[in-house]
Amino acid sequence: MSVFVPWSGMSPPRSGWHVEGEMDAATIVAAAAAGIAEVAAAGTGPAAQVEALRTRVWSGGLVDASMAPRGLAFAAYGLGFVREGEVARLSRAGAWWRLTTPVGHALAR
């Protein structure tokens, strides 16, 4: 099997980020947990179907009014960047999204 990730050779912009809003840790954790549950509920199957499901789940909206991908919540949660009681800032620069917490940044394109 060959894996090709089109954005792997791209770097996010260093400037031009505009704040889109803020969200609390509970919202981020809820978005990540919902995505994890949705993928887990589908079980296993042919690789192409599982990959399509993951793509659909993690590229869906982080919150209802946002175009930011839910994968940001998964990345921030999985990397331990989300801590109870903290607030994260959601920023955008062109096609790139950044979720910033006091611990680190999760990026998506």
Over residues 1-33, the pLDDT tens digits come to 455 666 567 888 999 999 999 999 999 999 999
Domain limits of the chain? 18-108
**Is the pLDDT score of 44 beyond 80?**
no
Long-range contacts formed by 77-83: CB under 8 A, 24+ apart: 77/28, 77/29, 77/32, 77/33, 78/32, 79/104, 79/106, 81/105, 81/106, 82/25, 82/28, 82/29, 82/32, 83/25
Q: Which residue has the higher pLDDT, 41 or 82?
A: 82
Query: What's the pTM?
Result: 0.81
